[in-house]
């Protein structure tokens, strides 16, 4: 199993949780971003810098992901692609996307996009709170506890 992070918009607090988990569980962790990232020195943690551009990092993650991998992303279309490939997707706020919930999230995303096109202000995501970090860490721990061991 490989952990991938859609790292351009991933909060630092979530990345730090992932760094610790990668070391503790000895799992490969790849952060994909369109800019250089600083990470702790580790044989389990690497970064992959992709070109600037719309969805370039998302497309690279989708190209690399395999069944059973876990992708951390708030990007709903990327999560849908990951699930379609037999992998798993986890939101930085601790929401595990599933085949059932991803359809609902895609519909909501499309609705909000249509509203924005008409000039309605829909607002952005709320700031990441300590409760969000805890939900993420707990969801990640539950996921890793259920994963098959090699």
- Percent of the chain surpassing pLDDT 90: 71
Q: In what order do the strands lie in the sheet with 96-97?
A: 45-49, 29-33, 3-6, 70-72, 88-90, 96-97
The span from the CA of 58 to the CA of 134, in Å, is 25
Q: What CATH fold (topology level) applies to the domain 3-145?
A: Rossmann fold (3.40.50)
The span from the CA of 75 to the CA of 142, in Å, is 21
Q: So where are the chain's domains?
A: 3-145
Residue 126, both tokens: 């709320």
pLDDT tens digits, one per residue of 45-98: 999 999 998 889 999 999 999 999 999 999 999 999 999 999 999 999 999 999
């Amino acid at each position: 199993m490989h952990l991938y992070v859609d790292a351009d918009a991933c909060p630092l607090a979530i990345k730090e949780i992932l760094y610790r988990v990668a070391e503790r569980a000895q799992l490969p962790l790849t952060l994909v971003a369109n800019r250089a990232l600083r990470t702790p020195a580790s044989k389990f943690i690497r970064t992959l810098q992709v070109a600037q551009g719309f969805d370039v990092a998302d497309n690279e993650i989708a190209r690399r992901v395999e069944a059973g991998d876990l992708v951390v992303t708030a990007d709903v279309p990327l999560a849908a692609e990951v699930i379609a490939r037999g992998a798993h997707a986890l939101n930085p706020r601790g929401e595990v996307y599933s085949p059932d919930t991803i359809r609902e999230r895609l519909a909501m995303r499309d609705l909000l996009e249509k509203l924005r096109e008409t000039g309605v202000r829909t607002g952005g995501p709320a700031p990441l709170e300590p409760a969000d970090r805890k939900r993420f860490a707990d969801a990640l721990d539950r996921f890793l506890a259920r994963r098959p061991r090699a």
